[in-house]
Structure 1
Amino acid sequence: MTITRFSELELDERLLTALSEKGYLRPTAIQATAIPPAMDGRDVLGSAPTGTGKTAAFLLPVLQHLLDFPRKKSGPPRVLILTPTRELAMQVAEQARELAAHTSLDIATITGGVAYMNHAEVFSENQDLVVATTGRLLQYIREENFDCRAVETLILDEADRMLDMGFSQDIETISAETRWRNQTLLFSATLEGDAIRDFAERILNDPVEVEADPSRRERKKIHQWYYRADDLKHKTALLIHLLQQPDVQKSVIFVRKRERVHELATWLREANIASCHLEGEMVQAKRNEAIKRMLDGRVNVLIATDVAARGLDILDITHVFNFDMPITADTYLHRIGRTGRAGRKGTAISLVEAHDHLLLGKVSRYLNEPLKARVIDSLRPITKPPSEKNNGKPSKKVLAKRAEEKLKNKPKVKAKLRQRDVKNVGKRRKPAAKAHSD
């Protein structure tokens, strides 16, 4: 049976009211396939890229469970959700609060970057659902400040990202601490590769596998193209020109390194373009403020490293700019998924230098469609594009010349004299004559 409306899912009226207030009437593909088995108490292994509605796919079944089986007295959390980043933890908690708005369920977050005392209520008062990052949660578990015994459902959101960030051991420790649970839900952007499969096998018990690959349908809503840039200065000029176009209302600019975030913010400021930024080393209060400024519309340009590529949920992003091309095609998809959300159209523009053409080819092969080049007349590139045949790779002739230059410029190394070869180089002593015994 194909589920076309939330009302067919036997959800509590209070949840349906909250969904209606958010303007959600029809479930997305991942919601329609994941919610029924999760509501039946089965473990779920879900593959869902960002922007597909996966958060509600795991929140609705657990909220329904908490309403179906209310606790008789207050106690520690019954549902534990693990996320890779603080931003995602806060966004998941916020969505849980919106969906539970007409209930009396208690929802809390535990993340790093927050003073210890701010989590005091999680330990002292009733909590039904807690969203946490692994590091801070483990600290509280070890200090016996977080009681895992009441956890009935463990949810791992963006599990592939957590593995990439090296949290595998932490999650397995938390999994062992919550061994009394009845259900585990694991969601990942992709289920490709042995790592995520092996991990899921250890954590889940006879899971139902659900997959929602909206890549083609979703990508049709996102226009994608690229501009060739001669160098960093030219690339910056292209970006400033594009940001000044009237259709660019709210945008996210992705760069690879933290240092580039601050450089780019300065260059934009010099061009009278206000921006905020998001990167790994910021204290939590500043990260929250940056997102709030975007949500409030005080600033319309956010510069971010890939720490923000997943989980960042600002609905009206019109444009995503890849100032630096991402290393993997998967990261490219996550970046452009910041736009074209909730049925809206979006635009993703990549600024490509000569050394980026290999990555551009990788993205095109992954999408199974080439990205089209565009040109701004006043900012045409002077350099020639790399030949299609080599797809940006240097030719054999160029490689041979480079090797020759390297060899020519290699400093001559003097032969090292070992200590044993230079010491005692004088006249050798004669061995002492042996004494004869009579």
Structure 2
Amino acid sequence: VCVPLRGIAQYTPLEISLAVNQMDLGRPEDCTSQIIVGTPGTIQKFFKNLDLRNVRVCVIDEADKMMERSMATQVKRILSACSRSARERPQVLLFSATFNQATKSNIAAWAPGANQLFVEKDTDIIPKGIRHFYIDCRARADGKETRLGTLSELYKLMSVGKSLVFVNTVDSCIGLADWVVGQGHATSAMHGKLDVADRDRTLDDYRRGRTTVLVATDMLSR
């Protein structure tokens, strides 16, 4: 969560801090960041002696997990500390890939009168103009890999300015990016082992067209 926020914040005067266990957080009173990203336990421990009533927005990601008993108590204490009174509460935003019925029922306690937006599983959310197709790339009878050959043929047949290729692991990401470079394409790789500066540089190269193929793990989608 912190990585994309830093990417956005670089165009604003906002500062972002990360509050997770095993990090040197310094003294709470020295924190000047407007946005704090962290786990409930660490945030609660770090700011327990500070006045949080000026907090305007509380964002709860993976809300279904945060509502489980082990986390719920900590989150409730943080929300209470950020509330000036029962009527003056921070705006609460809850996000999750899944909301079961029990979770939906608990939302009323955490965010009374909240606007609720749910996307059902069978909802067609594919943007207009995007075409999906499937190619069977299973290994041949002789055991030889066909995915790389298929990808090479696609680049020969399709006229595309830029393309994204998603893979499952960091090693696959690095290996495939090297292979695509060998095919003559300006290529970069995006994965979790890159530091923030390298990630920003990789995305900037892709945006500006210095590279036309971006091989990435699911970190990019986040």
Same fold (TM over 0.5): yes
Query: How far 1:302 sits from its partner (Å)?
Result: 1.6
Q: TM-score if structure 1 supplies the norm length?
A: 0.38
| Alpha carbons 1:261, 1:305 under 8 Å: kept | yes
Query: How far 1:116 sits from its partner (Å)?
Result: 7.4
Q: Secondary structure at the match of 1:277?
A: strand
CA deviations on 1:385-434 (whole Å, 9 max, x unpaired) are xxxxxxxxxxxxxxxxxxxxxxxxxxxxxxxxxxxxxxxxxxxxxxxxxx
The structure whose RCO (Cα within 8 Å, separation 6+) is larger is 1
CA deviations on 1:203-228 (whole Å, 9 max, x unpaired) are 32232324567953644432000111
1-side partners of 2:92 and 2:212: how far apart?
A: 35
Query: Which of the two has higher C-alpha Rg?
Result: 1
Distance 1:281 1:210, change over 3 A: same
1:16-27 alignment, distance < 5 Å: none
Structure 2 residue aligned with 1:222: 130
Structure 2 residue aligned with 1:372: none
| Alpha carbons 1:256, 1:305 under 8 Å: kept | yes
2-side partners of 1:89 and 1:162: how far apart?
A: 22
2-side partners of 1:295 and 1:161: how far apart?
A: 32
1:23-172 alignment, distance < 5 Å: 85-93=1-9, 97=12, 106-111=13-18, 123-124=31-32, 130-135=34-39, 138=42, 142=46, 148-156=52-60, 159-160=61-62, 163=65, 169=71, 172=75
Q: Which range moves more in the overlay, 208-217 or 276-285?
A: 208-217
Query: How far 1:259 sits from its partner (Å)?
Result: 2.1
In terms of fraction of residues, the more helix-rich structure is 1
Which letter maps to 1:230? Answer: R
| Alpha carbons 1:160, 1:196 under 8 Å: kept | no
Q: TM-score if structure 2 supplies the norm length?
A: 0.68
1:261 to 151, 173, 182: 173
Structure 2 residue aligned with 1:208: 115
| Alpha carbons 2:185, 2:212 under 8 Å: kept | no
1-side partners of 2:154 and 2:209: how far apart?
A: 19
Q: Which runs of 5+ in 2 are unaligned?
A: none
1-side partners of 2:198 and 2:90: how far apart?
A: 36
Which letter maps to 1:86? Answer: C
Query: How far 1:201 sits from its partner (Å)?
Result: 4.4
Matched length: 204
Q: Secondary structure at the match of 2:206?
A: helix
Structure 2 residue aligned with 1:305: 217
CA deviations on 1:123-175 (whole Å, 9 max, x unpaired) are 34xx7xx344315994696177986331033234xx238949x9x83972643
Query: How far 1:254 sits from its partner (Å)?
Result: 1.1
Q: Secondary structure at the match of 2:54?
A: coil
Structure 1 residue aligned with 2:202: 290
Query: How far 1:234 sits from its partner (Å)?
Result: 0.8
Q: Does 1:193 align with 2:100?
A: yes
Distance 1:230 1:309, change over 3 A: same
| Alpha carbons 1:110, 1:136 under 8 Å: kept | no
Distance 1:261 1:217, change over 3 A: closer
Percent of aligned pairs with the same amino acid: 17
| Alpha carbons 2:83, 2:90 under 8 Å: kept | no
1:234 to 123, 146, 151: 146
Distance 1:216 1:139, change over 3 A: closer
Distance 1:139 1:206, change over 3 A: closer
Q: Which runs of 5+ in 1 are unaligned?
A: 1-84, 98-105, 311-438
1-side partners of 2:94 and 2:148: how far apart?
A: 37
| Alpha carbons 1:261, 1:304 under 8 Å: kept | yes
Q: Secondary structure at the match of 2:131?
A: strand
1:242-391 alignment, distance < 5 Å: 242-245=154-157, 247-310=159-222
CA deviations on 1:22-42 (whole Å, 9 max, x unpaired) are xxxxxxxxxxxxxxxxxxxxx
Name the Cα RMSD after superposition: 4.1
Query: How far 1:187 sits from its partner (Å)?
Result: 4.6
Q: Does 1:183 align with 2:90?
A: yes
Which letter maps to 2:179? Answer: W
1-side partners of 2:172 and 2:65: how far apart?
A: 26
1-side partners of 2:145 and 2:63: how far apart?
A: 33
2-side partners of 1:86 and 1:259: how far apart?
A: 23
